[in-house]
Each structure stands twice: as structure tokens, then as C-alpha cells.
Amino acid sequence: MRELHELTALDQARAIRNREVSPVELTRHYLDRIERLDPRVGAFVTVTAERALEQAAALERDLPDGPLAGVPIPIKDLNLVKDVPISFGSSTYEGFVAPVDDSVVERLRDAGTVMLGKTATPEFGMPCYTETYLSPPTRTPWDLTLSAGGSSGGAAAAVAAGLAPAAQGSDGAGSIRIPASVCGLFGIKPTRGRISFAPIIPDLAGMSTNGPIARNVADAAALLDVMTHNNLGDLYLAPPHEGTFLECATREPGKLRIARYSTPVVPDTEVDPEVMAAYEEASKTLAALGHEVVDIDPPFAPDVVPQFVTLWYAFACMHPVAEELTGRLRPLTAWLRERGFATPAPDFLQAQSSLQLATRFGLMVTDAFDAVLTPTVTQPPRPIGWFEEGDDPEETFERMKRFAAFPAIYNVSGQPAVNLPTYWTDQGLPIGVMLAGRIGGEGTLISLSAQVEAYKGSFWGDRRPELW
């Protein structure tokens, strides 16, 4: 057998069911790798080794049915796990212990997955890079001088470094797709309302959702099956999906009509030539697979950007921070919160109203197609510290907007979207492309992504990070 971390999550679960490996053995393998390698990567903010081994031992006695039973899956540090510290990426919450489980955590536990610990996230999940006052910067394993992105940076870095086979993440403005791109992974932002945030975290504008990050399509689809659920009181419900998402990964998508555009919605944003090369290569791959690829104008206009920014300012204020602890906030967070608290409620409501109107018109364009292709981010992975050069929060925010100029619009619209890790630079750095689908269309995106993966002979091929 290959090294355990070389196996896919589904292969690991199959080996456990066949008694070729035990849950405890697999968990110990990952805990050992985390101890040896994570100081270089910065993927985890909390490691729950004792708890993980207890869970694994219990699974050896009673393994539930399910495709991922016995497999370790870490939880992002924006999600509550009862009796485990949670900081939301902020030193203002240092020492706080979650009083309850998020319902998605319950789903993962009931499915027989093992929680290795909490993965790093930036302060309150607001930035698209993972650098905090709590732990070392989170780095892409493909080049440890470069950022792993955010806000699911720790989740993506853990998977790409072989510290976990797959991971739970969340995405409010590209927070799964951005780190998936810079870490060379497949990540899914599901349709709005597919996965509940119960019992505490509110839905509000419906921008954010939980979702899976993995090295391949089938693992991510299986994890999405486990995570999918709703609870009483959820404000949004996704259209029902027949069958499983994992089945979609084995199903031919048929001939699809795919739109594409590469003009960012954020004005005055340049797209790096390497990113354009990834976009063009993906377009050729889709055409070679028999799909019709059609150029379109961007379905959303630049006037949505200031409306989105208004909401983003307000979202930065959602976590209560005691007055005496505000000095612990990072400069960007403090800058965002200052603007959020200064935003009148009517301005917030008008911004949300404008975004809903833009979505209604945008969906009239995108719904004419089975999928929409764009770049995921506008540049290759950025160096650690690059976003905060100059110590000017406003400049940091502008760099974030331009770097992540494509993914957030699909949080606004609620459409499902995935990152496909299809391209690698001559320096060995991953650059992803994004496919968005119709509301409720995760199955089509998964089938199409699996077809691309098979055509390319797996996303990673023979590539592995040096520390692998």
C-alpha cells in the first residue's frame, strides 16, 4: 500500500471498511505529520490529538455506514465545536471555548469522520489571506514563502500538505475557492441554503456557506453529501438534489453550453498573464471535451462593487468585541469595523436591495448556460505579507478586492461555484479556474469537473509539494 496520506479520502475509508487500516492508525499517521510538518505550513491553530484518538478508537468499535467513515476531517476555526477553543482568527477571542456544536460539525461526526483539530483562518474570516496575531502565517505548501490564501487558508494548506485528506471550509466571498486556487485543490461553494449554519451563526444576506476542500472531485462530492442539511429557522433553502453528489462524480455531464468571460467586476483590475493562460487552457480543454464554449460580457456590472463593500463593512461588526479588547484587533479589521459601525441601517438595506436587483438581471444571463468559466483569482499566489505592505488598511483592502475580483459575485447571487486546479506555472505554482452553475446545479458542476479531471489524468498528476 502507498503511504496513507497518498490515498484519497474515499480510498482511506474503503481501506478501513476492509480492515486494511484502522481509524486509530490513520489518525495517528496524520497527527504525526501535523507535529512534524505544520510548524512550516501553519495550517492548524488548534490540534485536538487526544480527542481525535478517542473518536478513532470509538469508530473501531462501531463504524457507521457512509463513504467517509473513519476518515480525519479538520474543522475551520470559524465553526463551533463544543468544548474546543475557538478564536475566529482573532486574539480578542483567545481562550473562548465553544458552548455548542455547529450542525455541520454534528453531521461530520455522525458520518464517522475524525476531527484532527481547528484550521487557521484570518480575523473573523474577513481577509483573503491567513495571517493573524494567534499563529504563524498560513503558507501554500507549493512554496512556503507564499500565502495559502483565505479565509479557509488553513483548511486548504492542511489538505495540500498531506496533513488531512480533505477539509471542511466556508466561503463568504471566495473563501474556499481562493485558497483552493493557490493550494492546487478542488473546492466547492455550494448553492445558497444547501448547508445550514445552525444553531447560532445567522444566514443574514446569505453570502456565506460551508463547503468541502479536497485533492479530487469525488472526495469533495462525498464530503458535500455529508455536510448537506437544513435546520428549522434557516432563511434559505437550496433546491433539492436527487441522489448523491458522489454519484454525479461518476456521471458523464453530456454536451454542455458553457459561457466564459475574463473581465473582472472590480474596476482597474489587471489579470496576470499566467492567470489568463490558465483560463485559455481550461477553455480549450472544455472545447476538446465536446462542450460549446461561448464568450459573453460579464453578467454583473462594476456598480455592484460599492454595494458589496457596504455589506462587507457591516459584516466585520458581527462579532462582538469588548471595548477593552479592541486594541487587539488587526489594523484591517479595525478599519473595516470603523466603517461598518458608521454605516446607517438604510444604507445597508439599500445596498442589499441593489445587489438583489443585480442578481435578478445577472441570473437572466447565466441561466442560459450550464456553467460559466472565469479565472478564480487575478494573480498567482502572493508572498506572505504582500497584502499588508505599507501598513495601510485601505491599500490592503484594495489589494484584496483586485486579487479576489471574480469569486465574490457568486456569493452575492447564491450560485454554486467550484475551483478547478488545472494549471501550473513553470515555477510549479498552481493557478485555478472557476466554474459557476445554475442555482441548485452543483451536480452538473461536479460531473463536468470530474470529466475535466479524468481528461487531464488527475489534477496533480505526478506533482507533489516538496514537503509531501
Q: Are 391 and 417 in contact (CB under 8 A)?
A: no
Is 76 known to be catalytic? Answer: yes
Which among 76, 118, 189, 401 is annotated as catalytic? 76
Using alpha carbons, list the distances in angstroms from residue 3 to 33, 71, 184: 12, 15, 20
Is 255 known to be catalytic? Answer: no
**Pairing, β 75-76 against β 44-47:** unpaired
Nearest to 118 by CA among 161, 150, 89, 148: 89
Q: Are 370 and 257 in contact (CB under 8 A)?
A: yes
Q: 255: Cβ–Cβ under 8 A, 6 or more apart, which residues?
A: 290, 291, 292
**Pairing, β 75-76 against β 117-119:** parallel
d(CA 364, CA 359): 9
CB neighbourhood size of 214 (10 A) = 27
Which among 87, 135, 147, 151 is annotated as catalytic? 151
d(CA 378, CA 41): 23
- Is the peptide bond between 151 and the residue preceding it cis, with omega within 30 degrees of 0? yes
d(CA 213, CA 158): 10
The 3 state secondary structure assigned to 36-70 is: HHHHHHCCEEEECHHHHHHHHHHHHHCCCCCCCCC
d(CA 144, CA 162): 14
d(CA 237, CA 217): 24
**Distance from CA of residue 87 to its chain's centroid?**
19
Which among 103, 152, 170, 175 is annotated as catalytic? 175
d(CA 269, CA 158): 30
Is 175 known to be catalytic? Answer: yes
Please give the backbone phi and psi of residue 42, each rounded to the nearest 5 degrees, phi first: 75, 35
* Interior angle at CA 386, CA 436 and CA 430, nearest 5: 45
214, amino acid identity: A
| Residues pairing with 383 in the sheet | 146
Catalytic amino acids? 76, 151, 175
